Amino acid sequence: MQEYKLFINGEWISSGSGETFDNINPATLEPIGKFHRATEEDVNRAVDSAEDAFDSWSSTPAPQRAMILYRTARILEDKKEELARLMTQEMGKVLSETRGDVQEAIDITYYAAGEGRRLFGETTPSELHDKFCMTVLRPIGVVGMITPWNFPIAIPSWKIMPALVAGNTIVFKPASDTPLLSVELVKILMEAGLPPGVLNLVMGEGSTVGSAIVHNRKLRSISFTGSLETGKWILGETSRNMRRVSLELGGKNPIIVMDDAKIDLAIDGVTWGAFGTTGQRCTAASRVIVHEKILPEFQEKLIERTKKLRLGNGLDDGVDIGPLINESQLKKVAKYVDIGKSEGAKLVHGGKAVKPLPGHFFEPTIFTDVTYDMRIAQEEIFGPVVSLISTPGLDDAIRIANSVEYGLSSSIYTENMRNAFRAIEKIEAGITYVNSSTIGAEVHLPFGGVKSTGNGTREAGTTAIEEFTEIKAVYFDYSGKLQKAQIDLE
């Protein structure tokens, strides 16, 4: 079986312990490769290498750094199909979705490359004579990145590309379930001309390798995407030594369907939002809050549509839903189905693991008679389970939408403009869609959430660069004398 090593200081090297872990295809359970498991010393070596590379990389003019990203984007385009196929094998989602994942990486890479000529500061008049004021953006330094498995190339690219163009150097740890696409991404960046040491890849478990990143005090900032539980822990650890941290965490995303909605359009959106990526998206639609007048028709149509979905290997034509990522995720989803039943919700479709192939498949599952406070309507399941909640009207629907700890994505289906704008105004979420599902972010808009979905940062969009830069205020006095701000005002 092929072995994949760590990438430190421009070289593929074995881990200090020589240990490896297996990467398994979640549809077939066939092994994909052996990946070197980093030790704490390997992580520290990677950080030192990134630190050594920082001076030269941060001094390279940003438009020149951007040229490497333009080349990277073109190579990603050339390899899109190959990467998508590898991703389906590694992560399980269907080929059309893995193509979308690679496309998102291409989009953010071009977008970040464009920022190489737009790292704008501001200028402003001084309150004093013969003095000029401005701000400039500076890179943060060496940044640590830890990513989840559900978007194996898009999420790393959302972090890596803006960080690179801004002049940072990086130590990156991908999820242990999807290290292969990260290896491929690093290879592409090196082929595009990234200098040694600027990007370092360490692989292995979060509890050891991730923790070593979090605790290395040479890292000026940690950029993390993953679960609320891990995010809370990272926030606690990093706050002790005053480091920047960006957290992109979970969601419990609602779709409101009003009685004036186009029902078939809403069915399309709910089916895609709830069962696309087997429900394993931070923006998955897991709660559908339906106006009571149309609920019976909506429910019947949703069940009919869901029955048509085909589970299987995401590489095969006609397959709509791939497997869950691993056995523990399968058990978690099954546990939530039991919880839903015991809470009194009605299971009207799906609800069990199935075996079209040896892997971790779970039927798309629909609960009705769900109340807003049940655990299945409050906690992130991260699987193909959707809860239908009845509502008498918009105010109540918005209250239900806002009743959870998370605030990532949201959606409303309505033909009434007033309803749409009320939802935009009142739903507590980082993203609101009107007449489309909870998923479908575009890279030139900020991405992130409110409440426990994060700590206020946003990725991509106009905010992509903010996460990876410091602002320096510059006062340039050319008067040739001591001038005291706030004092020498005449």
Separation CA 214–CA 290 (nearest Å):
42
Tokens for 164, please give them. Answer: 């690179």
Q: Which stretch binds ligand NAP (CB under 6 A): 10-18, 42-50, 77-85, 200-208?
A: 200-208
Among candidate residues 184, 282, 459, 466, the one labeled active-site is 282
Separation CA 340–CA 287 (nearest Å):
13
Helix (H, G, I), strand (E, B) or coil at 393: coil
Strands ordered across the beta sheet of 123-125: 123-125, 131-139, 469-477
CB of 377 to ligand NAP, least distance (A): 16
User: In the stretch 280-319, what mask flags binding to ligand NAP with x, by CB under 6 A?
Assistant: --x-------------------------------------
User: In the stretch 432-461, what mask flags binding to ligand NAP with x, by CB under 6 A?
Assistant: ---------------------x--------
From 16, 19, 233, 369, residue interacting with ligand NAP (rule: CB under 6 A): 233
Task: Give 109 or 176: the residue with its C-beta nearer to ligand NAP.
Answer: 176
Which 241-280 positions form the footprint of ligand NAP (CB under 6 A)?
A: 248-251
Separation CA 381–CA 282 (nearest Å):
10
Decide if residue 149 touches ligand NAP (CB under 6 A).
yes
Residue type, 87: M
Which 166-195 positions form the footprint of ligand NAP (CB under 6 A)?
A: 173, 175-177
CB of 373 to ligand NAP, least distance (A): 21
Among candidate residues 90, 248, 363, 467, the one labeled active-site is 248
| Interstrand relation of 346-349 and 353-354 (parallel, antiparallel or unpaired) | unpaired
Decide if residue 152 touches ligand NAP (CB under 6 A).
no
Separation CA 106–CA 114 (nearest Å):
12
Task: Give 24 or 258: the residue with its C-beta nearer to ligand NAP.
Answer: 24
Q: Cα 222–58–183 angle (5° rounding)?
A: 55
Q: For residue 313, give the nearest of 346, 275, 360 by alpha carbon.
A: 360
CB of 439 to ligand NAP, least distance (A): 11
DSSP-assigned letters across all residues of 169-198:
EEEEE--TT--HHHHHHHHHHHHTTPPTTS
Task: Give 196 or 440: the residue with its C-beta nearer to ligand NAP.
Answer: 440
Tokens for 260, please give them. Answer: 């004036």
In the chain, the N- to C-terminal Cα span, in Å, equals 77
Active site residue 133: no
For residues 48 and 95, the answer to whether their CB atoms sit within 8 Å is no
Q: For residue 438, what is the enclosing H or E element? A: none
Separation CA 51–CA 197 (nearest Å):
8
Active site residue 191: no
Q: Cα–chain-centroid distance for residue 162?
A: 14
From 35, 367, 382, 413, residue interacting with ligand NAP (rule: CB under 6 A): 382
From 146, 290, 366, 370, residue interacting with ligand NAP (rule: CB under 6 A): 146
Tokens for 83, please give them. Answer: 């990467």
Decide if residue 207 touches ligand NAP (CB under 6 A).
yes
From 380, 413, 452, 460, residue interacting with ligand NAP (rule: CB under 6 A): 380
From 28, 227, 436, 463, residue interacting with ligand NAP (rule: CB under 6 A): 227
Q: Which stretch binds ligand NAP (CB under 6 A): 11-19, 34-42, 131-139, 146-154?
A: 146-154
Task: Give 216 or 414: the residue with its C-beta nearer to ligand NAP.
Answer: 216
If one counts every other C-beta atom within 10 angstroms of the C-beta of residue 75, the result is 16
Decide if residue 409 touches ligand NAP (CB under 6 A).
no
For residues 283 and 442, the answer to whether their CB atoms sit within 8 Å is no
Tokens 């082929």, located at residue: 191
CB of 393 to ligand NAP, least distance (A): 30
For residues 261 and 283, the answer to whether their CB atoms sit within 8 Å is no
Angle between helices 180-191 and 62-78 (to 10 degrees): 120
Residue type, 170: I
Task: Give 210 or 312: the residue with its C-beta nearer to ligand NAP.
Answer: 210
Task: Give 116 or 461: the residue with its C-beta nearer to ligand NAP.
Answer: 461
Task: Give 106 or 408: the residue with its C-beta nearer to ligand NAP.
Answer: 408
Decide if residue 336 touches ligand NAP (CB under 6 A).
no
The residue count for binding ligand NAP (CB under 6 A) is 30
Strand partners, 290: 257, 390
Q: Which stretch binds ligand NAP (CB under 6 A): 144-152, 267-275, 350-358, 411-419?
A: 144-152
Separation CA 363–CA 367 (nearest Å):
12
Give residues in contact with ligand NAP (CB under 6 A).
146-150, 155, 173, 175-177, 205-207, 210-211, 214, 225-227, 230, 233, 248-251, 282, 380, 382, 408, 453
Active site residue ranges: 248, 282
